[in-house]
């Protein structure tokens, strides 16, 4: 993840927005090389049954590791 200062982010906001959108990158914005906020691409698809954060994680591939996991739980277990 690239981290930029708030000053640089203000000066080049349009360029950073385009880069995040087109390249699906995550950009940290903060001070002293420590991110305070993240800029991420807004998901192309939103599942209305899920909350906003779960949609972001799903679209970013945060649950992709589950496809290689054995089926330990049934759908009924997950609903509980």
Query: Are 58 and 50 a contacting pair, CB within 8 Å?
Result: yes
Per-residue pLDDT reduced to its tens digit, 2-48 = 999 999 999 999 999 999 999 988 899 999 989 999 998 888 888 89
- The pTM of the full predicted model, rounded to 2 decimals, is 0.63
pLDDT for res 12: 97
Would you say domain 2-65 falls under CATH 3.40.1620?
yes
User: In this structure, what is the dihedral angle of CA atoms 38, 46, 22, 18, given to the nearest 10 degrees?
Assistant: -50
User: What's 73's DSSP letter?
Assistant: S
Separation of alpha carbons 4 and 11, rounded Å: 11
């Amino acid at each position: 993840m690239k981290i930029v200062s708030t000053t640089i982010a203000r000066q080049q906001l349009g360029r950073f927005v385009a880069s995040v959108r087109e390249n699906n990158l995550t950009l940290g914005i903060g001070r002293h090389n420590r991110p305070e906020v993240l800029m991420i691409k807004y998901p192309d698809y939103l599942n209305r049954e899920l909350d906003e954060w779960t949609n972001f994680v799903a679209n970013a591939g945060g649950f992709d590791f589950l496809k290689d996991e054995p089926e330990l739980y049934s759908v009924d277990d997950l609903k509980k």
